[in-house]
A and B are shown apart, each in its own frame.
Chain A
Amino acid sequence: MTTGTVHLEQATKRYGALAAVNSVDLEIEAGALLLMAGSNGAGKSTLLRLLAGLIRPTQGRVLVNGQPPHSSLESRAEIGLLSHKTLLYDTLTARENLLFYGRLYGLENRRETAEAALANVGMSARADTPVGTLSRGMKQRLALARATLHRPGLLLLDEPFEGLDRRASQALSQRLTDLRARGETTVVVVTHRVDEVVDLVDRVAVLERGRLCCDSAWRGGGLEELQALCDSHQEGV
């Protein structure tokens, strides 16, 4: 899978008269991790869904690796999505879920890939338990395995830390660090839990009422600075 580059040009999504995402221009280079911040209802989830190709822009363009994400079956295989819903089937076991998605994505050696993914997120011991019986933290780790199973060039995370306790958050964070260290994946994270990703961030983008009001590189720094940058645009100037 080629690492994803993202290009948004005047991307707009309207629902009736309301523009959930309004004329957003954004570039993300391959392998970078972008933190998307903004108050609730600012349009972050909508923007993420535009990037995933689940919804289409009313105006403007959304390109991943130079193509609209929904345009072809191949371009869809570039995308991975992790949201606060697990996208897993509760009645099937962890292994069955991964095997299903493996087959759906046409992976070769899907058994080995599934086993490796399970091991990677520390779920091998629970591979045969129905997903519905797992704890929230385990579900989320499994969801990450699902999202990255096909080695997508672009990984989208929508509030991945929601509902996770300290330990589970740290585990997820660790997985993200590993992922990023490999450098094969561009990551876009929407989260309020800035503390979990502060060491991983390359870029920060802040959305306010559908518009991009801040887009800058992050050259490292403390947690407070990052937090301040995100919050500064929320007072509505």
Chain B
Amino acid sequence: MIKGVVTILWKDLLVEWRSRERLGPMVVFVFLIILVFNFSFALGGSALHEIGAGVLWSAFVFAGLIGLNHTFAAELDNNCLDALMLAPVSHSSLYLAKMLGNLLFLLVVELLSLPFFSLFFNLSPGLYLVPLVAVLTLGAACLASVGTLFAAMSSNSRLREFLLPLLVLPMIYPALIWAVKATAIVFEHSRPSATGALATAAFWPGSLTEPVSFLLVYSIVFTTLALMLFDQVLED
């Protein structure tokens, strides 16, 4: 089964490498959103560092939706989905491959956008880069687990671009709350305090544990749920 997952995932990465129709738009989109938010809030005079985490995750979610839309696009083109269903790979393998693909793309976009973000919002993770990456990965996992399932459901609808966000956004609301909070904690800890010294030299801010655990639980719960239900979505 792992072999099936790896095979399909590798194929997806290869297809994306050739066509570049997902990663490119996603990165551009994130960049634009960060810029737009930056203008609106900077002009308004709000403290950018307070809303930074929220802006970041809003950008990720919307870019993520673009990527999610394309999850099954290559499969629908020439009825390749039929071929995947005919092949001796379980449907769970297909789900996992697609979910991991989405996770990877999202993670790449997130990491690529961090420099832009730091530049425009004057926020940087500093010492806490590793915890931040952990938060980004888990947040992406939450989005990918739910989004892949719904992408499969909305792919053949004529209203796919409308249906997918409508399904995904309410569903990831809890994960979004925690991801924003976790990110805000990281940025808060890495800001020099009034005396100019860093708040703490600890590797992992204690208050980060709660949101991160939640994100972990969320992604596990929904991945498991999606694995159980994916058969129902594919079969006819």
Contact = CB atoms under 8 A, between A and B. Distances in A.
Contacts of B78: 85-90
A85 B89 CA distance: 21
B82 A92 contact: no
Contacts, number: 73
Interface stretch (B10-18, B143-151, B174-182, B209-217): B10-18
A107 to B, nearest CB: 11
B106 to A, nearest CB: 21
A48 to B, nearest CB: 11
A100 B74 CA distance: 14
A132 B60 CA distance: 32
A111 to B, nearest CB: 15
Interface in A96-113: 96, 100-101, 103-106
A76 interface: yes
Contacts of A85: 78-79, 82
Contacts of A77: 87-88
B87 A105 contact: yes
A73 interface: yes
A170 B77 CA distance: 27
B101 to A, nearest CB: 14
B122 interface: no
Contact of A81 (B4, B11, B15, B82): B82
Contacts of A89: 11, 15, 74, 77-78, 80
Given A85-B79, A100-B7, A54 B236 contact: yes
B79 A54 contact: no
Contact of A54 (B7, B82, B88): B82
B158 interface: no
A121 to B, nearest CB: 17
Contacts of B7: 100, 103-104
A55 interface: yes
A18 B139 CA distance: 45
B82 to A, nearest CB: 6
A55 B236 contact: yes
Nearest to B21: A91
A71 to B, nearest CB: 12
Nearest to A102: B7
Interface of A: 52-56, 73-74, 76-77, 79, 81, 83, 85-92, 96, 100-101, 103-106, 130, 146
Interface of B: 3-4, 7-8, 11, 14-15, 18-19, 74, 77-80, 82-90, 235-236
- Top 10 nearest A-B pairs (CB, nearest first) are A73-B88, A85-B79, A87-B83, A91-B18, A55-B236, A104-B87, A103-B7, A76-B88, A77-B88, A86-B78
